[in-house]
Structure 1
């Protein structure tokens, strides 16, 4: 479904943020991209979604290029940013969730149906008419996810989704991720905090200094994480059985 080939991205100041990244991501896969802060995780997700133009290399998503086929990519793929404020554009919760479907040119009835469905799915239908600036941090995170859900993408990208969330907020996000994966969607989560989703992902890829260092089965690679500056799950450090954050 997604093929990334020899991807490079240089920022205007000369920083090489991505260095020959190559990845194949299958339809319906739950992929964890982990790495220390500054390793290029956010840059990779933004490049995959077409928000950044690579210096060289290629990205193919169901036959579409993120830069040349931006409309098709918006239909196929959604991204949830680390800071929900950066993607909230509506005055009220309902207006914000409707923004994406409106930009897809959908009929008003379909927009309303999608908005109501996404609000219900995220448990924020009671906040529909509330001004976005009055929302709590956790409510804003759920709103940002609802906005992506209303687009009904096949691929969902999460950039550090657990940042600044309390225990209950983390449990909610992990639960939503598991549900979407079970529904056949492709999930790509970029984080330095592998503990939260380690028991549920199909594969991990370790990014360091803009390069994919290793990629493969989680249970085979977790013990390798410390040499790349990433803390493995506690159950790996303690030599215990695989443990979900939800247990």
Structure 2
């Protein structure tokens, strides 16, 4: 087992990557809920941390129970969440100080694609992502059509985003993010709302991206343990901390055993109370 928060086996020393150093996230709250700790300031609740983590692997999964802090952890990587203390560095850039540059290099895919699809049609949404690299409208339109074709959405350029299926919307959201050429791609439970066929399509696509020129690193949260087991590295988050850190299959095995042990413990307490 790798020490929680430490470099995973085989991580190249000194390589550019993601660095969270002494990070904590405190949010306003009347009182800590079950399993939560008070924050560093009065009236705050600690939802994450302290976290000390270096990530250089191409594929990293983040798993854990609802409310464990998974989404908060990955949202630190493009400054959607700002740490209350500590620092977050993304390939040499400080997320708090260099926020614009970090967001330009870190693509984020949400669970619900309608959160990030902002244009009326599929083609227009892709074109919006291409404005920085394709100044000519004709060039943008041609590039958008090519991207839609590449992502299995050919012929849908003029289709309203509301007339697309859930799987098509998620592929479109992913294509729009990839059009910006991110160095790091973060996906927060990207297949939760999809049927099995679209789930497998999106998972296969995501896992194929690192090292192919689309992005250098993929970080994703998921409740699909088979998907998590395919990651080179997997972080198990519990109570806002890294409870386990290791290769995907090992971390999933550890997580299953931990959940089963806690369930058995609750069952035993219930029986004693009776």
Same fold per TM (> 0.5)? yes
1:193 to 213, 216, 224: 224
2:11 corresponds in structure 1 to none
2:86 corresponds in structure 1 to 57
1:3 aligns with 2:19: yes
Q: Distance in 2 between matches of 1:221 and 1:130?
A: 41
Q: CA deviation at 1:137?
A: 1.3
CA RMSD after TM alignment: 2.2
* TM-score where L is the length of structure 2: 0.76
Unaligned runs of 5+ in 1: 232-247
2:47 corresponds in structure 1 to 17
1:119 aligns with 2:144: no
CA deviation vs aligned residue, 1:91-150 (integer Å, no higher than 9, x gap): 111111222332x47523664454234312211121111111222211111111111111
For the pair shown, which has the larger CA radius of gyration, 1 or 2? 2
Q: Distance in 2 between matches of 1:117 and 1:211?
A: 42
Q: Distance in 2 between matches of 1:225 and 1:171?
A: 22
Q: Distance in 2 between matches of 1:182 and 1:230?
A: 36
Q: Distance in 1 between matches of 2:95 and 2:121?
A: 30
Q: CA deviation at 1:44?
A: 1.4
1:98 aligns with 2:114: no
Relative distance call for 1:230 and 1:37 in structure 2 (3 A) is: farther
Q: Distance in 2 between matches of 1:55 and 1:168?
A: 40
Relative distance call for 1:192 and 1:9 in structure 2 (3 A) is: same
1:241 corresponds in structure 2 to none
SS in 1 for 2:82: coil
Q: Distance in 2 between matches of 1:113 and 1:69?
A: 32
Structure 2 contact 111–193 (Cα < 8 Å) conserved: no
Number of positions where the alignment pairs a residue of Structure 1 with one of Structure 2: 228
Q: Distance in 2 between matches of 1:94 and 1:57?
A: 40
